[in-house]
Protein backbone atom coordinates (compact mmCIF):
# COMPACT_ATOMS: atom_id res chain seq x y z
CA UNK A 1 0.00 0.00 0.00
CA UNK A 2 1.24 3.45 -0.88
CA UNK A 3 2.00 5.99 1.77
CA UNK A 4 -0.94 8.33 2.28
CA UNK A 5 -0.61 12.08 2.82
CA UNK A 6 -3.15 14.77 3.53
CA UNK A 7 -3.02 17.71 1.16
CA UNK A 8 -4.61 19.60 -1.69
CA UNK A 9 -5.06 18.77 -5.34
CA UNK A 10 -2.60 20.50 -7.66
CA UNK A 11 -5.24 22.31 -9.74
CA UNK A 12 -2.76 23.96 -12.11
CA UNK A 13 -3.36 25.30 -15.60
CA UNK A 14 -2.13 21.90 -16.81
CA UNK A 15 -5.17 20.02 -15.44
CA UNK A 16 -6.75 17.71 -18.05
CA UNK A 17 -9.79 15.45 -17.78
CA UNK A 18 -9.34 12.25 -19.79
CA UNK A 19 -11.46 9.80 -21.76
CA UNK A 20 -9.43 6.90 -20.33
CA UNK A 21 -11.26 3.88 -18.93
CA UNK A 22 -9.00 3.90 -15.86
CA UNK A 23 -8.04 7.55 -15.33
CA UNK A 24 -10.37 10.50 -14.64
CA UNK A 25 -7.83 13.32 -14.81
CA UNK A 26 -4.17 14.27 -14.84
CA UNK A 27 -2.32 17.38 -13.72
CA UNK A 28 1.29 18.55 -13.57
CA UNK A 29 3.19 21.07 -11.50
CA UNK A 30 6.53 21.83 -13.19
CA UNK A 31 7.65 23.87 -10.17
CA UNK A 32 7.04 21.03 -7.68
CA UNK A 33 7.83 18.32 -10.28
CA UNK A 34 4.66 16.41 -9.40
CA UNK A 35 2.30 14.56 -11.71
CA UNK A 36 -1.15 14.02 -10.24
CA UNK A 37 -3.21 11.10 -11.53
CA UNK A 38 -6.82 10.63 -10.48
CA UNK A 39 -7.75 6.99 -11.03
CA UNK A 40 -11.41 6.10 -11.48
CA UNK A 41 -11.32 3.31 -8.89
CA UNK A 42 -8.19 3.90 -6.82
CA UNK A 43 -8.04 7.52 -5.71
CA UNK A 44 -5.59 10.32 -6.41
CA UNK A 45 -1.83 9.86 -6.47
CA UNK A 46 1.04 12.32 -6.61
CA UNK A 47 4.15 11.05 -8.36
CA UNK A 48 7.29 12.94 -7.37
CA UNK A 49 10.35 13.96 -9.38
CA UNK A 50 8.22 13.92 -12.53
CA UNK A 51 9.88 14.94 -15.74
CA UNK A 52 8.37 17.36 -18.23
CA UNK A 53 8.90 14.72 -20.94
CA UNK A 54 6.68 12.31 -18.97
CA UNK A 55 3.97 14.96 -18.81
CA UNK A 56 4.21 15.72 -22.53
CA UNK A 57 3.91 12.01 -23.33
CA UNK A 58 0.78 11.80 -21.17
CA UNK A 59 -0.73 14.72 -23.08
CA UNK A 60 -0.09 12.91 -26.36
CA UNK A 61 -2.08 9.93 -25.10
CA UNK A 62 -4.89 12.18 -23.88
CA UNK A 63 -5.08 13.88 -27.29
CA UNK A 64 -5.11 10.49 -29.07
CA UNK A 65 -7.82 9.32 -26.63
CA UNK A 66 -6.17 5.93 -26.13
CA UNK A 67 -3.18 4.29 -24.51
CA UNK A 68 -2.92 6.50 -21.42
CA UNK A 69 -3.62 3.66 -18.97
CA UNK A 70 -0.91 1.47 -20.49
CA UNK A 71 1.60 4.32 -20.40
CA UNK A 72 0.78 5.07 -16.76
CA UNK A 73 1.17 1.39 -15.82
CA UNK A 74 4.56 1.16 -17.52
CA UNK A 75 5.98 4.55 -16.53
CA UNK A 76 4.46 5.17 -13.12
CA UNK A 77 2.96 2.13 -11.45
CA UNK A 78 5.69 -0.45 -12.06
CA UNK A 79 8.73 1.73 -11.19
CA UNK A 80 6.99 3.08 -8.11
CA UNK A 81 6.06 -0.42 -6.89
CA UNK A 82 9.77 -1.18 -6.96
CA UNK A 83 10.44 1.99 -4.93
CA UNK A 84 12.68 3.41 -7.64
CA UNK A 85 10.82 6.72 -7.28
CA UNK A 86 8.55 8.25 -4.65
CA UNK A 87 4.80 8.66 -4.72
CA UNK A 88 1.90 8.94 -2.30
CA UNK A 89 -1.86 8.55 -2.27
CA UNK A 90 -3.47 11.92 -1.67
CA UNK A 91 -6.11 12.31 1.01
CA UNK A 92 -7.75 15.58 0.02
CA UNK A 93 -8.14 18.05 2.88
CA UNK A 94 -10.55 20.26 0.98
CA UNK A 95 -11.44 21.05 -2.59
CA UNK A 96 -10.65 24.51 -3.88
CA UNK A 97 -13.71 26.36 -5.09
CA UNK A 98 -13.88 27.16 -8.81
CA UNK A 99 -16.32 30.00 -8.21
Domain hosting 65: range is 4-92
Does residue 99 lie within any of the structural domains?
no
pTM for this predicted structure: 0.87
Does residue 52 lie within any of the structural domains?
yes
CA distances from 15 to 4, 29, 40, 83 (A): 22, 9, 16, 26
Instruction: For 54-86, write each residue's pLDDT tens digit.
Output: 999 999 999 999 899 999 988 887 766 666 778
Measured distance CA(64)–CA(41) in Å, rounded: 22
Does residue 97 lie within any of the structural domains?
no
2 pLDDT tier (thresholds 50, 70, 90): confident
Instruction: For 7-61, write each residue's pLDDT tens digit.
Output: 999 999 999 999 999 999 999 999 999 999 999 998 999 999 999 999 999 999 9
Does residue 39 lie within any of the structural domains?
yes
Answer whether 38's CB lies under 8 Å from 16's CB. no
Task: Give how many domains the chain has, as a whole number.
Answer: 1
Amino acid sequence: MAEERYGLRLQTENYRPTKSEAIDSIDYSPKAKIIEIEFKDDGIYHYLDAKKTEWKKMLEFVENKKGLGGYVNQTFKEPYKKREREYYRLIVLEEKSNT
